């Protein structure tokens, strides 16, 4: 389990992510559904590479990602690693 200090350090590295109870979450908004599918496909590739899979909720052009470690019922380093990988992917 991460300490509050560790959580704060990781949150400072992320852009516009929130913590909702024991879930790290962010909603992405796109211009059209084609861009949504491309984004989700990239997320799935990252998730496979890190062997850590997010909850993905798609509503028209909005994609909400919920990251949490089911086995721990909490946010772990794996969630932050995936969130940081997603942020890095968006900047390239």
Phi/psi-derived region of residue 7, left when phi > 0, alpha when psi is between -120 and 50, beta in every other case: alpha
Task: Determine the Cα–Cα distance for residues 13 and 32; give it in Å rounded to an integer.
Answer: 28
Domain count, the chain: 1
CATH number, position 71: 3.30.1360.20
73, two tokens: 């019922």
Which one is predicted more confidently, 76 or 92? 76
* pLDDT tens string 19-77: 988 899 999 999 999 999 999 999 999 999 999 999 999 999 999 999 999 988 889 99
Query: What span, in angstroms and rounded, lies between the C-alpha atoms of 32 and 55?
Result: 21
**pTM, full prediction:** 0.92
Kindly indicate the confidence band of residue 81, based on its pLDDT and cuts at 50, 70 and 90.
very high
Q: Supply the range of the domain harboring residue 15.
A: 4-91
Give the pLDDT of residue 92. Answer: 85
């Amino acid at each position: 389990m991460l300490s509050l200090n560790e959580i704060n350090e990781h949150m400072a590295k992320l852009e516009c992510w929130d913590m909702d109870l024991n879930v790290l979450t962010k909603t992405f908004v796109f211009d059209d559904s084609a861009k949504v599918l491309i984004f989700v496909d990239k997320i799935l590739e990252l998730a496979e590479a890190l062997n850590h899979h997010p909850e993905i909720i798609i509503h028209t052009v909005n994609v909400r990602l919920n990251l949490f470690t089911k086995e721990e019922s909490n946010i772990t380093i794996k969630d932050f690693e995936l969130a940081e990988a997603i942020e890095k992917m968006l900047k390239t």
